[in-house]
Amino acid sequence: MIQAMGRLLEKRVPGRVTPKFVLRAGANLNHLLAKVTKKDAELTPELCEVLCSSLLCTAKKAIRDLGYRELELESMLADCHDWMKSEGMLQ
């Protein structure tokens, strides 16, 4: 997904995944700094756990019961990008 977003925004993205232990260490440090500065942490240990977890979802029930149709990731991201641009959320 990150690679697709980078292509859409015409931005370079890292070619490698940051190891979990590095993210966790950064989250803990960020959390401590936030306490000292009394500002909100951008990356918390809790958010880090969500980002590092694997979540598998299926649309089978929505397809079966609601007639939902799946779209390609690139198409969904492009639609979101266009909407955000039209709303002035992106330049």
Rounded to 10 deg, the angle between the 2-9 and 73-86 helix axes is: 50
CB 86 within 8 A of CB 66: no
pLDDT (0 to 100) of residue 34: 93
pTM for this entry: 0.58
Q: How far apart are CA 3 and CA 77, in angstroms?
A: 11
The pLDDT value given to residue 27: 94
The string of pLDDT tens digits covering residues 42-70 is 999 999 999 889 888 899 999 999 999 99
pLDDT of residue 88: 94
Rounded distance between C-alpha atoms, residue 56 and residue 32, angstroms: 32
pLDDT band at 24 (very low <50, low <70, confident <90, very high): very high
